[in-house]
Amino acid sequence: MKNLNLTLVLILIINLLNFRIAVADEVTSTISTFKKSEQLAPFFKNAYGYAVFPTIGKGGVGFGGAYGKGSVFKQGKKTGTTTMTQLTFGFQLGGQAFSEIIFFEDKATYYAFTKGNFEFSAQASAVAITLGANAKASTTGASAGTSTDSETQQKGVYQKGMATFTYAKGGLMYEAALGGQKFSFTPIEK
Give 3-state DSSP helix, strand, coil % of the chain, rounded to 5. 30, 40, 30
Distant-in-sequence, close-in-space partners of 170: CB < 8 Å, separation ≥ 6: 96, 97, 138, 142
pLDDT (average), residues 159-180 = 75
Per-residue pLDDT of 69-81, as tens digits, reads 999 999 999 999 9
**Helix count (H) and strand count (E) of the chain?**
5, 6
Containing 59, the helix (H) or strand (E) segment is strand 49-74
* Percent share of the chain, pLDDT over 70: 66
Q: Where are the domains of the chain?
A: 2-187
What is the C-alpha end-to-end distance of the chain, expressed in Å?
Answer: 52
Whole-number pLDDT of residue 17: 47
User: Does residue 19 contact residue 83 with C-beta atoms inside 8 Å?
Assistant: no
Distant-in-sequence, close-in-space partners of 7: CB < 8 Å, separation ≥ 6: none
Is the pTM higher than 0.85?
A: no
